[in-house]
Structure 1
């Protein structure tokens, strides 16, 4: 049987989400993350009957429950959030009019609780692995290799990131790149002898325009200059400047095109210097990686009487980009239904918690039952 046990209902799910939300876990706070990992491990041991493997990489705590010798279905979740320590005092955990609120509830502590309950409901867990990482909101710098090595031979990866609008599953995610362009000029007095300087701000302006022109909106490729810094005082020709660039694309070919163009940037102003850091961070999750699993989810949702399940494409990236990038069929957005990720109105729709957990459990069981990937 792969549905929730009779004594596990929405009240229990809410209580478990409360436990995790009230243990704040900002990605950059090592002490808070350690407390959160302890809480997740304790809840997981209560539900699954076994403690997780604790894996610390670059000071970041990750957890992994593995059942059986081979991973056939990988559930991917994270316990870190974007909210700074102390947010809970301003945005406390609450359930009002069917909406559950609190920092990190939607992204993605409710999804993590759903994963634990879905695995706990399985009669046979052989072949199931649940991986909970602690740095997803930072771009998974320490956990990427762990995710990819754990997923390597899996038949499917199921990602517990929150759903898209209306509960839609995420069938495509853009790949991402990040760059920092640093420019060196030469300082001079802006009033007495500006001609002796090399103006890093002017060079920055020209580079920003060149970089922004790399976007191809018709292909869904965005190239967005973001944070910029330049100069030191109002009466000095700036000797240095820098700006960062956010790149999103639906195909690996587009990420590689932009990457090559970024690496080919050259200074325009004589005497200026240019240095580039960064590169491709996450490959795209393309529709071909999710199509089969989405069809199965649609069928199972109908069998459970949950109504039609929608699918959509989104610009944001997740750890599902990594699993899809190594060729593992991947379905994302299987977590909570609600809205407001990273926003003040972050919330979870309580009525969807149990049904979506049942759908997840059925999907895991279905993949386990398949003879081949």
Structure 2
């Protein structure tokens, strides 16, 4: 039987080559439909959602646990482990092949199991157990260090030795399409003697990827590179909204707090690690060589094109303001997970790890407005004479990502959020 990543595979469903969701992808999500279905697990294929709950009830899937897809999150399925993930993806791929009549020629099952994406409501795909955000793009850290520290020595002494991160708020991780309310917080401009409390004036996005942890690790134990890799279920697009002025006042000495706690948006579709396998690449050379527990033998980065569009209330279509690539990340997702557990920290099913802002070497590849506008000193020119240094109320930010194959793309869809005024 052909592997689900085989580039020659075709589905009986007609799929545009520019679609994010060919048969080589099969990302997981949680959805409901207009006919009153309660939220359940599905897979995106072309312009449809394949209802795994219907297939499971019809006896077409065998995951070893009844009702695992009749759930409002993927956590129960992820807990079954990598062998079940792989076997299930292979079974779904086989059912969708152009030369397999099991689903193709079963009109009744097809009617029940294939829901047009336009008729589906998409939900947060996981119950987020914990959320950690990293700071792992050398280009981003260099830009920020040059702005606020020292242009000649922008990286802090520990940055090249350790994946820097902080624990964020799982409670405010939301799915694409959720509006984001402008946060309030303590503000202290440099020329003011005392802080004040009010709406953020320097609201930003951060272009990131999110790692979805699908297997737990015990408290008190470390992880090997292979163990960490096998714990990763898949990846989502992630926008870690940031209140730069709140952050500037609060982050010393313990790092970000309220400036990042108000909202983190993720895409509704989780692209599995297995689907990304053909797009693995080695990351940048790491110098100095990391400590032994962080050394990696494998190619743990991914060639994922990332695109950011900004639309103001006066614009009909978003304007591209950034295009970069996940392959630039200095610290890989596997290294981040290994380091996270290295103190003995237990990892849980449903943990979410943000990669940190993804920037590249070129000005067009900067993954935040902080960098694009160089801390507000260089405004973005938009259609109709509008300008932006940071986000204003009514602005919509959309991120997209995909891996380009030969005649198909393995995509993530998009993560979108629109800013609404502070209360």
> Structure 2-normalised TM-score?
0.25
> Structure 1-normalised TM-score?
0.27
Judging by fraction of residues, say which structure has more helix.
Answer: 1
Q: Radius of gyration: which is bigger?
A: 1
Q: Work out which structure has the larger RCO, using CA pairs closer than 8 Å and 6 or more positions apart in sequence.
A: 1
